């Protein structure tokens, strides 16, 4: 099996940028196929540390923590809000991701994430925002009305 995930793409908040629509769109050059999804290299590679929380968190701005679970205020209200949104709409929990990283280590976390988000058809990566594989579901992506919703919702 080809390894897809890297620790550099795990944001401090627990977001797995490896499965983010904007990262996958860039990786698969979807704009060249006429699919309009913003591009992103990931939170850490862009030096944003965390696109969701950094502007509201001094510790992230000052690089005082590598992951939010290292913060004495963990979990803060901002993290709880984004976690609720992602659990509700995108089948991902930032808090669960952070717990898994803390308890089991990054290598184990990445191995579990690889299995969880693997496309059963081609072995590539399924997007957390819509449940589609950007390798083999491009025709569906071209016609999808709600780009950030899973089909069964």
The whole-angstrom separation of Cα 126 and Cα 91 is 12
pLDDT of 153 > 60? The answer is no
- Residue 14 · residue 99 · CB < 8 Å: no
Residue-wise pLDDT tens digits, 2-53: 567 999 999 999 999 999 999 999 988 888 888 888 888 888 766 665 666 6
The whole-angstrom separation of Cα 76 and Cα 80 is 6
pTM score of the predicted model: 0.88
Residue-wise pLDDT tens digits, 82-141: 999 999 999 999 999 999 999 999 999 999 999 999 999 999 999 999 999 999 988 888
pLDDT of 80 > 70? The answer is yes
């Amino acid at each position: 099996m080809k390894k897809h995930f890297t620790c550099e793409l795990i944001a401090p908040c627990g977001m797995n940028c490896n499965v983010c629509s904007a990262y996958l769109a860039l990786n698969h050059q979807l704009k060249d196929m006429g699919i309009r999804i913003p591009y992103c290299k990931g939170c850490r590679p862009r030096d944003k540390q965390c696109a969701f929380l950094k502007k509201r968190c001094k510790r992230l701005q000052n690089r005082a923590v590598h992951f939010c679970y290292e913060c004495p205020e963990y979990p803060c209200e901002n993290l709880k809000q984004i976690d609720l949104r992602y659990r509700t709409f995108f089948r991902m929990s930032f808090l669960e991701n952070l717990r898994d990283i803390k308890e089991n280590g990054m290598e184990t976390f990445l191995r579990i994430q690889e299995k969880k988000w693997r496309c059963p058809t081609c072995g590539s990566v399924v997007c957390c925002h819509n449940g589609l594989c950007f390798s083999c579901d491009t025709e569906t992506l071209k016609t999808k009305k709600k780009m950030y919703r899973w089909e069964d919702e």
